[in-house]
Every structure is written in structure tokens, then in C-alpha cells.
Chains A and B, each alone.
Chain A
């Protein structure tokens, strides 16, 4: 040991908690100033959470999925089907489970999360053998097959989709009240941020980054890449389904054509990538920036709102591979070296 006391650098940290705290503070202040624009607020905050959840697989594990709408859909459909007595509960009752009464949305969301995790484990163990773009292609295919099932089967409400007439109150709060939904959406983002910060400090986070950079290099260090990717996918799936359940409450009625289509998956992925997939909070930033852009240009572009996504992803791939957050640090605010 040397006698000179040099300050020893630390690597193990949760990452910059102040940025996350700042983001949460801004989100909480939003209703104070924009109480009239709560629809915009709820959907933006939910998408921020989706982008964060996507990034656990897409950023940390480096697996670009363009099929996350399917996981969102599993959350939304499971929760809603269980909340409508004539659908899920009636069917469960017919096979001897439950009383046929509506199942509360929080249990429904939990069930959706479990189903999404199971789906991700099967899906991932089949497709993680494929490298890079091949995984991306397969994710599109899996999601579209699920979409066709939702459109064509009766139990999912077919192409008509589903409508939730009512929901029980949540600790006395009306779940269809936009302010309540906003609070739940912020809670969702907080959860995704907490999970991300925990990953940042954990063995799992280090292993995921190693797998993303170099699978063989990771294997040599005792890491099983397939297992790590599955873990990331399962966490990502659970969180996405959680948000999907909240999204269903926000929509109250939804149809497979809008909920399960490819553009939704693309939107979630691009929010995270444009925000900065190798930064801790980049996806939230990306979601907010894109949503604001979309809102500002709403009159100009009306339904062509994905135009801005196309332009920005092109700009990012050409000039800023680290995304928006990457611009604020020397080599991009990397997951690893971010403080």
C-alpha cells in the first residue's frame, strides 16, 4: 500500500439521482400550470414510462425491440378483460375460479404483468439466439401475430376492441379522473426510474452492459448473455404491462388497430433512442421532447405526427448517436460512467 493518500475513484453508484429528482419535480408541477391540458399530460407521462421500460431491454441489454406494443397490449387487455364481468370473470367462473364479479384493476394489472413476463420469457428464449437486426425483425413478427389474434378472436373483443363502463374507486379516488390518472402515471415513471437506478448500481446492470458491448467478452467473465437478456426482457415486459394497464384506464375504450400496431412500438423505441438509450434518464427526456414537438406542430402536421420522429431519428443516427442526453457529456452520458 502506498503512503500517499490519493482519493480513490468510485464507480458503484445509483447514477445521478438529482436529475431524476428534478424530472419528478417537473412532472409533479405540471398540473399546477397546465391543469387544462391533462390528456396531453397523462399520455406524455405514460409514454415516458414506456420509453424507460423499453430501454431496460433496448439500452441496457442493447436489444432493439420493435414489438413492445404487444407487451403494452397484454397489460391493457388483461386488466380490462378482468374488469368487465361478462368477459374475464365470467369465463374464469365457468372454469370454477372466482365468483364472476369484476376483478379490481390493480389485481388485473398485476395479472397482466405476470402474463407479460411469461410471454417475454418464451418470446426471448426463442428469439435471443438471433443477432442484432434479426432480433428486431422477429420482435415485429411476434407483435403482429398477437395483434392478429386480438383482432380476430372473440374473447379479446375482436376488431371492435374493449370498453370499460366503470371501475371501482382506488382508495376513494375516481380512476377515470384525469388528475388521478396523472398521479398514477407519474408513479409509473417513478417506478421505472427507481428500477433503472437500482440496475445501474447492481451486478445485473454491469453484466447487461457487458453483454451489450461484447457477448463473448462477457461470457469469458462468467456472464450468461442469454440469461441476462431474458432478465432485462422480463423486467421491461413487467413494467410495460404495468403502464399498459394504466393506459387502458386512461383510454377507457381501445381497439387493437390503435393499441397493438407497429407505429406504437416504433414510437416507444424512438422516444428512448432519441432521448439517449445509453443515458439513465434519456428515454424520459426523449418522450417529453417528442410529445411537446408533436403538440406544438399539431396544427401544422395534424395526423402526420410521426414525421418529427422520422426527422429526429435521422438526425440522431447521423449526428448524435448518444441521443439528446448524449449531447450533454463528452462521450455521451453513458450508462456506465454517468454519475
Chain B
């Protein structure tokens, strides 16, 4: 293979796998926005919570990080459910700005609690496979990254089955489209909203677990991922789930290629610039219908 081309493919593959994780983070945010029209500013902090949970379980009971998924998933769901049901729902029909500020507050509480509990030092876990790679057709792939990508795939397929094959999913979609109409059909929208927030948080927590073998955990790591999630969902169109997947892959690819070909220093800027351009030129997202959202 032509070495230039091989470098390109290598960079792209790396980017797309990272993008898979971005997609997982973004989907949770987009799901919450799609149903409740709330931009969850605490999203990345829930991811950080997932990371630290994994870290904690590994250090105390030597639980393999991937097994902590089984704990992070229900715990994340319960936390999200609780927050929506007993905190955010109290905001009632006040402006979405209040919810935005409330989630910003929740995020600050989560990240600062982590800081109090674990200190500011970046920490990670040592698992034998964390740095393993395998080579496929001249392209190096990190195993942990591949597992993360596969995890994303499973989570997305699972969410799709839930949304389109179950009664609960039907109720969620109905609530997203028309809360009042759903209510009239006997859907308990409060429960549904809490369920959706729970799902969103669970997704963030899963992403955190999958990321831990790859990244250092520190209390404010969530800030970065909240921003990535914003970028992903805006690229894909807020509330558009397939869009979030493509948005995640797109962001991963753009970052990876941009830092390889332009400058690594501006890695975080490429996504932000794409984000601003999309906000300004196509607020409905890259793939949405061309109806202007007011």
C-alpha cells in the first residue's frame, strides 16, 4: 500500500473509532433533547462519573473495567431517572433556559464531588490489554478502542430495538413528538421523561466505562465530553438519533485527519469550527430536512 494512503487510512480508522465513542456520548444528549427539549450541560460529568465508578471498582475489588458496565448501566439509569423525576421535572414548563442552568448546576455538583472524592490528579487503571493493538492489512487498531467501538454499536442497536420494537419505545416516541397527545393516549409522560433522562445518563456512563482503559480520569474530564456531545448532536441535528451517530463519526474523523494533516495543537478546534458553521448555516444539522428551526 502507498505509505501516504496507508497513513490516511490509519488516521481515518483511528478517528472513526474515537468517533464511535463520541456518537455514544452524543446519542444520550440527543435523546434527552429530542424528548424534553433540554440541553443537558451535565452530560459529560455523568460520563466522568462512569469513569470514576469503573476506576473505583477496579481499585477496590479488582473488577475488570468491562464488567463494571453491568453496574454502571443500571446505576446511571437510576441516577438519571431520579434527577429528572425529582429535580428537573419541578421546573415544569418554565423556559428551557432554566433547565439548561439546572443541568449546568448538576454538572458542577457532580464534577466537584468527584474532585472531593478522588482529588484532581489524573488517574487510570492498568489492565494488560489497555495498550494492545493488532494489525489488519497494515492498519494498527487498538483493542480497547475497538472494544469501545463495538460497545457503541451494541448500545445503539439496543436503543433502536427499545425505541422501535417495544411498547415503551412507542411511548417515548409519542412523547417526543407530542407530549400532550401522548398524555391523552394514556402515556404517563412524567415517567417517560424520567426514563429517557435515565437512558441518556446510562449512555454517558457506559461511554465513561468504555473510555477508562483509553484515557486518564480526572474530575473535570466531563467538560470536554459535554462539548464533544454538543458538537456531535448539533452536527447530526439536535434530537436526531441516526444523525448523532453520523455526527460522532464525522467529528472523530475530522479531529483525527485535522490533527494529522493541519496541526495537532488545534485538535479540539476543528470540531468547534464545524459546530459553529453548522449552527450558523444549517441549524437543523448536516442531515436534517431543510426546514429552518426557529
A residues apposed to B, CB below 8 Å: 64, 126-127, 129-134, 136-138, 140-142, 144-145, 148, 151-152, 262-263, 266, 270, 273, 301, 303-307, 309-314, 316-318, 321
B residues apposed to A, CB below 8 Å: 39, 87, 90-91, 94-102, 104-109, 111-113, 115-116, 120, 220, 223, 227, 230, 234, 263, 265-266, 268-269, 272-273, 275-276, 279-280, 283, 294
Whole-angstrom CA separation of A127 from B275 in the bound complex:
12
Whole-angstrom CA separation of A305 from B108 in the bound complex:
10
Structural contact, A301 and B97, CB atoms closer than 8 A = no
Q: Which residues of A contact B106 (CB under 8 A)?
A: 310, 314
B102 to chain A, nearest CB (A): 4
Whole-angstrom CA separation of A263 from B120 in the bound complex:
15
The one of B104, B112, B272, B283 that contacts A134, using a Cβ cutoff of 8 Å:
B283
Structural contact, B105 and A317, CB atoms closer than 8 A = yes
Known: A321-B94, A321-B98. A314 touches B105 (CB 8 A): yes
Instruction: Summarize B's interface: helix, strand, loop or mixed.
Output: helix
Structural contact, B112 and A301, CB atoms closer than 8 A = yes
Of the listed residues B106, B109, B266, the one surrounded by the most CB atoms of chain A closer than 10 A to its CB is: B109
Q: Which residues of B contact A126 (CB under 8 A)?
A: 276, 280
Structural contact, A310 and B234, CB atoms closer than 8 A = no
Whole-angstrom CA separation of A321 from B17 in the bound complex:
43
Whole-angstrom CA separation of A142 from B292 in the bound complex:
22
Structural contact, A144 and B109, CB atoms closer than 8 A = no
Q: Which residues of B contact A306 (CB under 8 A)?
A: 108, 111-112
The one of A148, A263, A317 that contacts B102, using a Cβ cutoff of 8 Å:
A317
**18 A-B Cβ contacts within 8 A?**
A126-B276, A130-B279, A136-B100, A137-B39, A137-B230, A137-B275, A138-B276, A138-B280, A141-B227, A141-B275, A144-B268, A145-B273, A148-B269, A270-B101, A303-B120, A309-B105, A313-B108, A318-B87
Q: Which residues of A contact B94 (CB under 8 A)?
A: 321
Kindly report which residue of chain A lies nearest to residue B267, judged by CB atoms. Answer: A148
Q: Which residues of A contact B276 (CB under 8 A)?
A: 126, 138, 141-142, 145
Structural contact, A304 and B234, CB atoms closer than 8 A = no
The one of A137, A273, A310, A321 that contacts B107, using a Cβ cutoff of 8 Å:
A310
Given A148-B266, A307-B112, 13 other A-B contacts at CB below 8 A? A64-B97, A64-B101, A127-B280, A129-B280, A134-B283, A137-B279, A263-B223, A303-B120, A304-B115, A305-B112, A306-B112, A313-B102, A313-B108
A282 to chain B, nearest CB (A): 15
Q: Which residues of B contact A312 (CB under 8 A)?
A: 105
Structural contact, A130 and B283, CB atoms closer than 8 A = yes
B111 to chain A, nearest CB (A): 8
